[in-house]
Chains A and B, each alone.
Chain A
Amino acid sequence: MSEQSTQASRSAALNSRRKFLLDSARAAGAAMLVAVGVGLYSRQSVSLPASAIRPPGALKEEDFLGACIRCGLCVRDCPYDTLKLARFGDRVTTGTPYFTARDIPCEMCEDIPCVKACPTGALDHSLENIDDARMGLAVLIDEENCLNFQGLRCDVCYRICPVIDKAITLEMEHNVRSGKHAMFIPTVHSEHCTGCGKCERACVLENTAIRVMPYELAKGELGHHYRWGWKEKNRAGESLVTPDIEHEYNLPQGQSYDLQGEGLIIDDGTSSLNPPDNVPFGTSPLDTLNNNSFNTRGTEK
């Protein structure tokens, strides 16, 4: 009797253990399903469409997606309704803020309310001057349709730029088509462009020729070993390789040539009083022409 009952309780315990393990396995299976589904989806969601621009101060996209808690407080504090909160089904990660420059660009508020509103710092609170924001980089992407590239004076992107003459300048070039006019080429400087998108919004074309793009799409990157020689030279104060040998120009007495400066320099005679000894010709060009040794000069050197 008691044996029977212990056996029964043992089998009950076995059953309950079995049930526990089975339940755990099923729950773990469901969790695994979630992990695979959501995990893969999250990998896909990291890629932001180029037209979607994050608010000022936004961390790098992969950090941003771990820091933004999708509350929309930045959207609420944007006075120009620039910022939108991505909806499920949009190509932007659901619940995160972005704007489309061609619709409503960033007005670059001096007090940067969107950054202040962010409770987590997904919009970096260390951004205090809106001019330091780097939401993206404007790129004049279609030279074939940009009016200024045709020699017209549209200039709208340049005029509207909040950092005019720094972020966008007009660079004068010769207009080959007409042969006698200038072209004023809108030129973006990444050093100053905040990526606010006002140029993209203002472009008069049907489809804009200048666009704000994510930095990684807009900017090239130099090979890490690469150095610009002239910059290194400036920084060091002298050439870092073998010093340049000054080229000797074989010029008539009293003349010299400055390659990167004035060009041909004709002395007015002050220096001709002391002609260098090794010059095989006299101070007067006529002497030189009449000089017999002129023909053999090359071999003498």
Chain B
Amino acid sequence: MSRPLHPGATARAEKGWLSANKWLLARRFSQLSILSIFLLGPWLGIWLIQGNLNSSLILRTVPLTDPYVLLQGLFSGHLPETAAITGAVIVLLLYMLVGGRVYCSWVCPVNMVTDAAQWLREQFKISGSSTMSRKTRYWILATTLILSLVTGSIAWELVNPVSMLHRGLIFGMGLAWAIVLAVFLLDLLVSRRGWCSHLCPVGAFYSLLGTHSLIRIRADARDRCDDCMDCFMVCPEQQVIRPALKGLPIPGTNKKTGPVITSSNCTNCGRCIDVCAKDVFHLGLRLNNTIPGNGVDAEHTTNLKNNSEQLNHSSGVEVL
């Protein structure tokens, strides 16, 4: 077995550290700057933006509202004022363009917590993972909306770790650390990528938003793939890569999948681009999703299958 222990080691050796981490760095930069802009006000009195991720006001003029929270408000029977609706429309349009779950990997503060848990999981070689269906989040999403309808209050906000952490950092944590810690421990000890990729209804909502989003990860150079599995190892939504990378047949047709990762659960985090020594992936548009050249031969597919089985045995990773 020539597979290196850490995904991305080959890429690091071949492309250099910076180049093999540039998307990760960009993402951390984005997450931290968004948080910092929110913190500039309460900490330094520079009010570029007020509020928090649920709803905010840029330079006292442009409203932004989380459409998911607003939807829960609607379900609980309140018709909001125009400011909130305008803010939600802006956010909706943005994420429908750049990819719904871009929120998860580029904005959400919990991502840094769960990424830290995942990093530690790899450091400590914690391989056990209780498997949950990745569809659980949609069930929970539906549950939160029904709860709003039944209780007449935005019930999910009572426990939502995403807004707890963001609001807590800006307005004061209280005991919200406990909830963030619970998410961290869940991801570290109980389930690999348990929160963001299986349970979080916010991510589920944004994934639905990004179903047809324009900006996508593409595997145009998939012919160069040498089945090192690094992208698969590093991806928080492992199931999204394979169809596009391997050109799997589309069920019910005799066509093969094009090179665009079209799954709405791809968070456009770009880690696959970073860790790929062969530069198979790049960020692009979802247009022109046709099969380049001769497509992929069957041998590749079986290789990947074998590899993923191996992987399952070695680290208990769930493949969907």
Contacts and interface: CB of A to CB of B under 8 A. Distances in A.
A143 interface: no
B16 interface: no
A216 interface: no
Interface string A108-125: 000000000111111001
B211 interface: no
A76 B81 CA distance: 19
Given A26-B136, A42-B147, A119-B80, A88 B168 contact: yes
Interface in B128-158: 132-133, 135-136, 138-140, 142-144, 146-148, 150-158
A68 B154 contact: yes
Contact of B163 (A24, A62, A70): A70
A85 B135 contact: no
Interface string B47-88: 100111011110000010110011001001111110110010
A27 B171 contact: no
A164 B146 CA distance: 47
Interface stretch (A89-97, A171-179, A183-191, A231-239): A89-97
A46 B56 contact: no
Contact of B156 (A38, A68, A76, A88): A38
Interface stretch (A29-37, A134-142, A147-155, A245-253): A29-37
Given A24-B133, A26-B132, A69-B154, A87 B139 contact: no
Most chain B beta-carbon neighbours within 10 Å: one of A28, A76, A87, A88: A88
Contacts of B152: 62-63, 65-66
Given A24-B135, A41-B158, A125-B81, A35 B63 contact: no
A45 interface: yes
Contacts of B63: 119
Contact of B65 (A88, A95, A119): A119
A38 B175 contact: no
B316 interface: no
B71 to A, nearest CB: 10
A71 B132 contact: no
Most chain B beta-carbon neighbours within 10 Å: one of A31, A87, A122: A31
A18 to B, nearest CB: 13
B171 A69 contact: no
B296 to A, nearest CB: 23
Interface in A212-264: none
Interface in B180-216: 199
A37 B147 CA distance: 11
B65 A69 contact: yes
Nearest to A86: B174
Nearest to B79: A121
A120 B150 contact: no
A8 to B, nearest CB: 17
Given A69-B54, A69-B70, A88-B176, A39 B139 contact: no
Most chain B beta-carbon neighbours within 10 Å: one of A24, A26, A38, A93: A38
B293 to A, nearest CB: 31
Contact of A85 (B70, B84, B167): B167
Given A87-B174, A89-B175, A120-B84, A73 B56 contact: yes
A77 B83 CA distance: 15
A73 B147 contact: no
B69 A76 contact: no
B158 A35 contact: no
Contacts of B142: 31
A27 B174 CA distance: 31
Contacts of B76: 65-67
Given A26-B133, A27-B133, A27-B135, A67 B73 contact: yes
A287 interface: no
A119 B159 contact: no
A93 to B, nearest CB: 7
Contacts of B133: 23-24, 26-27
B164 interface: yes
Contact of B154 (A32, A70, A88, A121): A70
Given A118-B81, A120-B70, A35 B146 contact: yes
B113 interface: no
A43 interface: yes
B78 A63 contact: yes
B55 A42 contact: no
Contacts of B178: 88
Nearest to B70: A69
A72 B78 CA distance: 18
B45 to A, nearest CB: 12
Given A30-B199, A46-B153, A120-B73, A73 B50 contact: yes
Contact of A38 (B66, B83, B84, B159): B159
A30 B139 contact: yes
Given A65-B153, A71-B52, A85 B172 contact: yes
Interface of B: 41, 47, 50-52, 54-57, 63, 65-66, 69-70, 73, 76-81, 83-84, 87, 132-133, 135-136, 138-140, 142-144, 146-148, 150-159, 163-164, 167-168, 170-176, 178-179, 199
Interface of A: 23-24, 26-28, 30-32, 34-35, 37-39, 41-43, 45-46, 62-63, 65-73, 75-77, 85-90, 93-95, 117-122, 125
12 contacts: A24-B133, A28-B139, A31-B140, A31-B142, A42-B147, A42-B158, A69-B70, A71-B65, A87-B175, A89-B176, A94-B164, A94-B174
